[in-house]
Amino acid sequence: MNSTTLPTSLTRYAWISIAAAIATIVLKGVAWQMTGSVGLLSDAIESFVNLAGALMALWMLTLAARPADVDHAHGHGKAEYFSSAFEGFLIFVAAVSIGYTAIVRLMNPQPLDTVWVGLAVSVVASVINFVTARALMKAGRQHNSITLEADAHHLLTDVWTSVGVIAGVALVSVTGWLWLDPAIALLVAVNIVWTGYQLMSRSAAGLMDISLPSDKLAVIESLLEEFRKQGLDFHALRTRQAGGRAFITLHVLVPGQWSVQQGHDWAERIEAAIGTALPHTHVTTHLEPMEDPLSMNDQDLDRMLPPPANP
């Protein structure tokens, strides 16, 4: 059995995200106050979503790092899916708020003030988000954390949103077309709705015990093929992802004349090989004699029980 729990150090990345969100809220709020741009206001609103998402991430990462207990024998890794789903929901809320504000401004266009100074402040905020997102993405992929990856994707979306808003406000200043500012804000709302949908879909898949992706399944099958060459066989391979951890179960078919010790030793080798190839996994094997026909009754998801004996 190979088991690796989520490191508690991941919470420091959530604190970094919180600090970045607070900094960008202040900077983008100043930029909006200086220019009066509804596009920059929409950008500032999304930073509040970033802050809420980062706070939720901190909570869920702390919970996910807790070890298994009597009531949670498989650990607390699925807590990460609540964080990414919550952040996806917040993105939808932000999109509605941005869209409403933009429509109101389209109906009542207003000139922008102190444009270039406000844009400079917004650029600084975008750089902060970009650097933070890269750090979160690297840590998320390294530690297989959907929470950090979701936060990173959200921040990167915020960066590209800011780029669009900055370009739009600059064009308004150059062309005088006031409708460009709220129009771009509407495009921002549509863009972040797509990001929110992706986050919520991925979270739902995790909560529904989706199996490991095909590339990881290929790694497992490659390892098992090497053991087949040594006289073993396998079936009933089942996998699921739970936040930063993966759970793998399979039935190992061994020669019936083997001793329990021999079978156990080979099962340990198989578990160790899979655990080494796929870190952050919990591997469980079940030994069966390959000559016994009953061993083949449990290849499907639900084990087929033998018929009751006649009285």
Q: Would residue 311 count as lying in a domain?
A: no
Q: Is the pLDDT of residue 117 over 70?
A: no
Query: What helix, strand, coil percent values describe the chain, rounded to 5?
Result: 70, 10, 25
- Give the best-scoring range by mean pLDDT among 103-107, 191-195, 274-278: 274-278
**In the block, residue with structure tokens 């998402």:** 53
The answer to whether residues 185 and 219 belong to one domain is no
- Give the best-scoring range by mean pLDDT among 97-106, 123-132, 179-188, 254-263: 254-263
**Taking the CB of residue 122, how many other CB atoms lie within 10 A of it?**
28
The answer to whether residues 37 and 128 belong to one domain is yes
How many domains, the chain? 2
Residue-level pLDDT at 220: 93
From 207, 226, 257, the end of a domain falls on 207
Read off the CATH number of the domain in which 260 is found: 3.30.70.1350
Q: Would residue 2 count as lying in a domain?
A: no
H/E segment holding residue 287:
strand 281-289
- Reported confidence tier of residue 2, pLDDT bands at 50, 70, 90: very low
Q: What is the pLDDT of residues 28-45, one digit of tens each?
A: 788 777 777 766 676 677
Q: Is the pLDDT of residue 105 over 50?
A: yes
CA 148 to each of CA 42, 71, 155: distance values in angstroms, whole numbers, following the listed order: 24, 26, 10
The answer to whether residues 85 and 220 belong to one domain is no
Integer Cα distance of 148 and 19 in angstroms: 15
Residue-level pLDDT at 277: 92
Q: What is the pLDDT of residues 198-245, one digit of tens each?
A: 778 877 777 777 788 888 899 999 999 999 998 899 988 989 877 667
Residue-level pLDDT at 253: 93
Residue 171 lies in domain:
8-207
Residue-level pLDDT at 300: 64
Q: Would residue 28 count as lying in a domain?
A: yes
The answer to whether residues 223 and 202 belong to one domain is no
From 180, 207, 234, the end of a domain falls on 207
Residue-level pLDDT at 305: 47
Q: Would residue 309 count as lying in a domain?
A: no
Chain centre distance of CA 194 = 15
Residue-level pLDDT at 171: 77
Q: Coil, strand or helix: which one is 248? A: strand
The answer to whether residues 21 and 160 belong to one domain is yes
Q: Would residue 79 count as lying in a domain?
A: yes
Integer Cα distance of 65 and 83 in angstroms: 14
Integer Cα distance of 156 and 293 in angstroms: 55
Integer Cα distance of 147 and 84 in angstroms: 6
Residue-level pLDDT at 1: 44
The answer to whether residues 202 and 236 belong to one domain is no
Integer Cα distance of 264 and 280 in angstroms: 22
The answer to whether residues 201 and 230 belong to one domain is no
The answer to whether residues 255 and 137 belong to one domain is no
The answer to whether residues 29 and 175 belong to one domain is yes
Residue-level pLDDT at 226: 92
The answer to whether residues 199 and 231 belong to one domain is no
The answer to whether residues 245 and 156 belong to one domain is no
Read off the CATH number of the domain in which 77 is found: 1.20.1510.10
- Reported confidence tier of residue 121, pLDDT bands at 50, 70, 90: confident
The answer to whether residues 38 and 171 belong to one domain is yes
Q: Is the pLDDT of residue 69 over 90?
A: no
272 vs 63 pLDDT, higher one = 272
**Chain-wide mean pLDDT for the chain?**
78
Q: Would residue 178 count as lying in a domain?
A: yes
- Reported confidence tier of residue 58, pLDDT bands at 50, 70, 90: confident
Residues 6+ apart with CB under 8 A from 271: 1, 2, 283, 284, 285
Structure tokens at 9: 């150090």
Q: Would residue 95 count as lying in a domain?
A: yes
From 207, 227, 242, the end of a domain falls on 207
Q: Would residue 3 count as lying in a domain?
A: no
Residue-level pLDDT at 39: 64
